[in-house]
Structure 1
Amino acid sequence: MYQLTSSALAAIAFFVVSATTPPTVKAQTPAIRAYQPKATETARKSQIQDQVQKANPSRFDLQKYPLTESNAPHWQDSLWAIGVLAPEKDYAVQALENILQMTTAPNLSDPQKGIIDTAMQVGMELYRIKPAVYGRLQQSFLNTVNSSNDPQWVALSLVALAKTGQDSPNSSSIAKLSLRVQQRFPNWSQDLYLRNTLQAVLGDRQLNENTTLPNLSDLLKWQIAPQQAHMYVLCRPNRDVLCVAILKDRNGKFVMQGKQLWSTPLLLQSLRNLDWYFTNGRTPQGIYRMEGVSLQPDDEVFHAYGQFSLVNLFVPFEDGVNAFLPNQKGKFAGNLQAYQALLPPSWRKYTPIQQTFWAGNVGRSEFRIHGSGAAIDFFQSKAMLVNPQNFDWNASLGCLSALEIYDKRGILLEADMPKILDALNTVGKGKVDGYLVVVDMPSTTNTPITVAEIAKYLSP
């Protein structure tokens, strides 16, 4: 998940079938506000106007607003606004260039690094979707690859250069840049950002990782811990395609809705179109502890999360969890072998299912299942990034995004969070806890996973 200023947050907008009767979800619908004043057409226009003001060229004057700790909220808000509006303006390109040139500067403070982090991600996104306008950033990315000592910035820059079509370096140049990175960082294979980026750029040949999907039936039959609810979120590797969540109760029985499996769609794509190992990247595959909810009042973060409570998810090494494992208080702090022991034997050497372990290891945190109060067309670059079939869902910065739609009058039309919260409260007998597992299922097509496809893996 992401950590931004409150005003930036206001801008944004997871075996065997028993012969006995499976559980049925009870009606425990959370309180719903049918009308939301912040979702009206007038409020939406005001929200966009607020972003226009924060993206005003005058706000990017480094003489007036130097990159200091006191100005960090100002820069975060302004850079976020550029990301929202995706303006095809020279001043926006220049503003990003001015900040990205600092990726090679020594002795940066944490607030300065935070500003550069945001500029790097916004710049990378716009460089990739609007190269005709933001192509000038190429030199900034090349300078970063060649001279920056920050592995994440180097990795982000290499990804940007490798995955942009128009006027991007050819494959030979990318291979040379990759070699340059390996030479500059002799221990690159021990760094999550560099290792995974070079893997993506050069392919799996050098890293000898096990990426053949094991038998899904083994995972769906397995219990990470006894007497715990399990939610499985099954995705395609292309996260522009909707994922589907199914749910198993504390006795290991899959929850039904009528004669079919209980299920709900979720979007696990990154708003920045970043991979799982980057901050604000796609939701990692692997095991999450599901523990409690975060109440969502109707306040300034309505646009980010919608009106319903958020389901709390915790990755290994993350603080704040009461008990990642039922018999052990506190966070999971074991090694990779201890994490692998939570999986069925056939899955323990499967590299992608380890992503939450490594994401937690580098500090990713605060994953949630939540809705969105932002307009579906709030992010101006969305049409270039999102599958049109999923346009009603808003991508997040690492979380699992549920559908939540309002009309121009601010009237709630559709929302999946009540269904999710109701189901989890039912299997948890009034509380939300258990485990959530995210898995990508390879396919030759980009069609969403169906309940019928999943059912094949649940047959006795």
Structure 2
Amino acid sequence: MLPSPEDLNLNAHHAALRAPALLAALLALLTGCATAPDAIPGKRHSTQELLSYQPADFRWQPTRASAEEAARERDLSLLRQRLSLAPGSAEAQAALPDILAAVLHYNTEIDAARAPALSGLAGLEARPADVQRAVLSAVYRFYAPEASAQLWALLPKLSSPREFAIAANALLKPLTGPARQSAAAQIKAQMQLSFPTTWTDEPRLRALSWPLDQALQPSAPNAAPPLAELLAAPLRPGYPVVFSLQRPGREVLGLALLRGADGRFVREADGRLFQVPQLARALSNLPGTITLGNTPQGIFAVRGSSTASNPSIGPTPFLETKLPIEASVSEFFQVDGSDLDWSEPLYAALLPQSWQAWEPIKEAWLAGRAGRDEILMHGSVVNPDYYRGASYYPATPTAGCLTAPEQWDPANGRLLASGQLQLAQAFARAYRQAQERNPGGLDPMVKGYLVMVELPGNDGAGGPVLAAELEASVQAAEQRWLNRPR
């Protein structure tokens, strides 16, 4: 039986980043680089192996209290040294991405980093794109209101769609009502001017168009289609599906449910829905088409389970999820071979008809087109106390993945309890049941789907997602599955 979210001591990873050498080096320090003695990095786990594991089979030395405290003190000392560099100096400019990465990870020194971050906006258009992304992401996360004037001046100078989209979202973030509507009009006009031939199709700019249009037409209908219809989506019949239900804004814990290959949702012995708390929030909290942003809404293929070669994720087997384009058409549709090329209609064909025109559910398709990859369902090894006071505490944000709760023994680093292992094993059981009904038809490695979707409504004011609010939609979905055309 899974503990309630309130009883869980959550941890999370800070996932591998594609970043400049200085930033990559700091992130390695932040997350700890020791290899888990009981884990083999890169190991692939068969269905049977997944089902055989116990929490005690895994340990992670960096979660020992003494190791975690030593690493934190070392990294914060380095952070403070870098914050003390002469403002505007070449050294301070070079260290800025590392500084902001540490501030995001440890959720500390936010006030001390304000001046360097805001000064970093001056002349940012001339710096490399990854430096632009690092600075703009931190400004979006912590300093958007006070950066407004600088961002408006910078926006026309940004030639990369990714960085333009981050800056535009930072401008919109603090605004409501008429002020937001006015800003949206200016941003859309600038987007069309800066990217005259690509703004309608470039994935990050197309994703940006959604909040812009919502701000420009606040009275236009924007209700999501019925959730039950998405929960009943056939996808590829014969495969289990994880549904990760999140609140808009990702300010609170979401919930993962599991639908078996027979269309019925997995339940506990007492009839309650099988459920695992999940957080799908990035450190930056940027939209899902942006590098290192939140987990995008939409459909992912599950293509096996592995232990991370990146030690920041921890040793618990993750479920490997792939976006469209990151996965070939054959991989995504779970077939041996296909000569089809990826297209939006091909992706949309997996959705119920009522959802095919709903733009937010295509975020995964756009994220794949934008080059995002390695968005996984995994465990968590970061100290949740870094985020004490956050509305999602005791969960921790990541670099864009979905993390489930784990408890680690601070004395010896052994895994005590793992929502991630429970989810992976429930998925493996559902996959094995499908194998038994189709002997010889499925691979020994787990396969299936993930559907990530935000629930209708406002931000996290409603509190964590609870199974009770989903029960009616689940029952309606199961009935729709039984009545679907054969």
TM-score bucket of the superposed structures, by smaller chain? 0.7 to 0.9
- The CA deviation at 1:224 is 1.2
Alignment of 1:355-374 (within 5 A): 355-374=363-382
2:297–2:361 contact (8 Å) kept in structure 1: yes
Correspondence for 1:8: 27
One of 25, 29, 37 as aligned partner of 2:61 = 37
One of 284, 307, 310 as aligned partner of 2:296 = 284
Distance in 1 between residues matched to 2:124 and 2:454, nearest whole Å: 34
Alignment of 1:296-445 (within 5 A): 296=308, 302=311, 304-319=312-327, 323-329=331-337, 333-378=341-386, 383=389, 386-387=390-391, 390-406=392-408, 408-409=410-411, 410=413, 412-429=415-432, 431-443=445-457
One of 125, 129, 139 as aligned partner of 1:104 = 125
CA shift in 2, pair 1:325/1:10, >3 Å: farther
2:305 is paired with a residue whose SS is: strand
- The CA deviation at 1:322 is 6.9
1:34–1:411 contact (8 Å) kept in structure 2: yes
Distance in 2 between residues matched to 1:364 and 1:401, nearest whole Å: 17
2:342 is paired with a residue whose SS is: coil
Unaligned runs of 5+ in 2: 1-14, 19-23, 33-49, 433-443, 480-486
Correspondence for 1:186: 196
One of 246, 262, 265 as aligned partner of 2:274 = 262
CA shift in 2, pair 1:33/1:262, >3 Å: same
Structure 1 counterpart of 2:373, one-letter code: S
Cα shift readout 1:323-376 (whole Å, capped 9, x = no counterpart):
111225489842111111112222222222211111101111111011111110
Correspondence for 2:466: 450
Structure 2 counterpart of 1:270, one-letter code: A
Distance in 2 between residues matched to 1:364 and 1:435, nearest whole Å: 17
Correspondence for 2:183: 174
2:319 is paired with a residue whose SS is: strand
Tell which deviates more after alignment, 194-203 or 370-379: 194-203
1:314–1:321 contact (8 Å) kept in structure 2: no
One of 224, 227, 234 as aligned partner of 2:245 = 234
Q: TM-score, normalised by structure 1?
A: 0.79
CA shift in 2, pair 1:442/1:119, >3 Å: same
Structure 2 counterpart of 1:402, one-letter code: A
2:185 matches 1:161: no
CA shift in 2, pair 1:413/1:10, >3 Å: farther
Q: TM-score, normalised by structure 2?
A: 0.75
- The CA deviation at 1:184 is 3.5
1:11 is paired with a residue whose SS is: helix
CA shift in 2, pair 1:174/1:77, >3 Å: same
CA shift in 2, pair 1:333/1:363, >3 Å: farther
Instruction: Let me know the Cα RMSD of the aligned residues.
Output: 3.5
Distance in 1 between residues matched to 2:185 and 2:229, nearest whole Å: 42
CA shift in 2, pair 1:50/1:141, >3 Å: farther
Alignment of 1:137-156 (within 5 A): 137-156=147-166
* Identity among equivalent pairs (%): 23
One of 129, 134, 138 as aligned partner of 1:113 = 129
Distance in 1 between residues matched to 2:450 and 2:225, nearest whole Å: 18
1:48–1:378 contact (8 Å) kept in structure 2: no
CA shift in 2, pair 1:432/1:357, >3 Å: same
Distance in 2 between residues matched to 1:337 and 1:155, nearest whole Å: 25
2:255 is paired with a residue whose SS is: strand
Cα shift readout 1:382-412 (whole Å, capped 9, x = no counterpart):
63xx31xx31211112111111233543464
Cα shift readout 1:150-193 (whole Å, capped 9, x = no counterpart):
2322222232233237xxx9558735642444434334333333
1:272 is paired with a residue whose SS is: coil
How many residues align? The count is 419
- The CA deviation at 1:103 is 3.0
1:102–1:116 contact (8 Å) kept in structure 2: no
Structure 2 counterpart of 1:37, one-letter code: Q
More strand as a share of residues: 1
Unaligned runs of 5+ in 1: 14-25
Distance in 2 between residues matched to 1:184 and 1:207, nearest whole Å: 25
Distance in 2 between residues matched to 1:453 and 1:171, nearest whole Å: 32
Distance in 2 between residues matched to 1:308 and 1:296, nearest whole Å: 8
Structure 2 counterpart of 1:144, one-letter code: L
Distance in 2 between residues matched to 1:329 and 1:225, nearest whole Å: 15
Distance in 2 between residues matched to 1:451 and 1:214, nearest whole Å: 20
1:340–1:348 contact (8 Å) kept in structure 2: yes
1:284–1:438 contact (8 Å) kept in structure 2: yes
1:138–1:161 contact (8 Å) kept in structure 2: yes
CA shift in 2, pair 1:85/1:245, >3 Å: closer
2:109 matches 1:87: yes
Distance in 2 between residues matched to 1:122 and 1:43, nearest whole Å: 28
2:63 is paired with a residue whose SS is: strand
CA shift in 2, pair 1:210/1:322, >3 Å: farther
Distance in 2 between residues matched to 1:239 and 1:431, nearest whole Å: 31
